[in-house]
Structure 1
Amino acid sequence: MKITGWKTTGHLPKDERVVLIAGPHTSNWDFVLAMSFILSLDIHLHWVGKHSIFKKGFRRLLRKMGGIPVNRANPEALKNEIYNVTQKYKGFIIAIAPEGTRKKVDRLKSGFLRIANETNSKIMMAGIDFSNKTIELGDFFSPSGDADKDLKFIKEYFANFAGKRPELS
């Protein structure tokens, strides 16, 4: 991270259950950056990624790096994976891109709200800003109970950061 000029502000809590939502997600480079970030922290962090990137030959490595595949056609499998993480670790961090895609979206996915609720986890926001090469680990977010209102607030929060392809933010 230092070699490429990236810096991180804020910090990740230890020994707590955290769902880390990161955005904006606008490019395949986000994955490379995220993996570099995870390796630079020297912590065990889980992350949710599209099942299609877990291809034969890479599946074992991606899982070893904390990857949890999600297939929207089989949400029960993700639930089981998350349950296994909660059983294995006292404190954990599960990172998710709430856009659910690299394309421009009108509405964020709400699965992270359910995951946080079902695992009794806090929600932390992380903004990725390619314009100044910064990952900002923000404050905890407390859901209001109104998913539409919460998703709108989070989308507006991520609008403060420039993705690799800002036109897709």
Structure 2
Amino acid sequence: MNPPQPYPIPPAALRQDRGWFWRFLGRAYLKHAGWRVEGPFPEATRYVAIVAPHTSNWDFPLGVALMFAVDLRVSWLGKHSLFKPPFRRLFRWLGGIPVDRRASHGVVGDCVKAFETTPHLLLGLAPEGTRKGVSQWRTGFYQIATGAQVPILPVAFDFKEHVVRLMPLFQPSGSLEEDLPKIQGLFRDAQGLRTRPEA
């Protein structure tokens, strides 16, 4: 019998002990769904994590299971319409921050301020911004990272291999035109639950 798959351990500043039950639940979900986690968490405690590809609602429970399994404390942005009773308190507890996309011009600035006032912050974003096919990513994640002067952690949800892949930190150069193709290239081999047609 193979030994259980070890899980990467986030830095202490980014851990949140929710109790043994939630840790057990997260690890049970990953195990029975056949998922494994590759790569370590970086030692940094301030960065923007981008998750791709984003093609299904099943990406969310996978992310939550990972968060529970490794006691990770992460903040993430979600549509304000999701933060209504009876789910508002749950999503807040899970680290959710409601965002009104109709007035998104201030979101980047608010996130930059959060990094400036918080010594330890992991902000998770889906750069595709939607489960539907997109021809290009939203660039808010890059604007936040450069504005806050923090690195980017690429995280692939590869449904083909059933692997959550934590990649090395990417330090933005300040040139979106140069960096974006490089970042997108890191996800070239990752396949979402739903395959999108080529653009």
Same fold flag (TM > 0.5): yes
Give 1:120 deviation, angstroms: 2.4
Output the amino acid matched with 1:65: L
The aligned counterpart of 1:62 is 91
- How far apart, CA to CA, are the structure 2 residues paired with 1:111 and 1:124? 14
Give 1:2 deviation, angstroms: 1.9
- How far apart, CA to CA, are the structure 2 residues paired with 1:46 and 1:62? 10
1:38 maps onto 2:67 in alignment: yes
- Would you tell me which structure has more strand in proportion to its own residues? 1
**Root-mean-square deviation (Å):** 2.0
Give 1:14 deviation, angstroms: 4.4
Are the aligned partners of 1:68 and 1:81 in contact in 2 as well (CA < 8 Å)? no
Are the aligned partners of 1:128 and 1:135 in contact in 2 as well (CA < 8 Å)? yes
1:90 maps onto 2:119 in alignment: yes
Q: TM-score, normalised by structure 2?
A: 0.76
Look at both structures and tell me which one has the larger radius of gyration over its CA atoms.
2
1:161 maps onto 2:190 in alignment: yes
Are the aligned partners of 1:107 and 1:151 in contact in 2 as well (CA < 8 Å)? no
The aligned counterpart of 1:23 is 52
Larger RCO (CA within 8 A; separation ≥ 6): 1
Paired residues in the alignment total 168
Unaligned runs of 5+ in 1: none
Give 1:50 deviation, angstroms: 2.4
| C-alpha distance after superposition, 1:70-96 (max 9, x if no partner) | 222222256436634652x31221110
Q: Which deviates the most, 154-163 or 101-110?
A: 154-163
The aligned counterpart of 2:110 is 80
Q: TM-score, normalised by structure 1?
A: 0.88
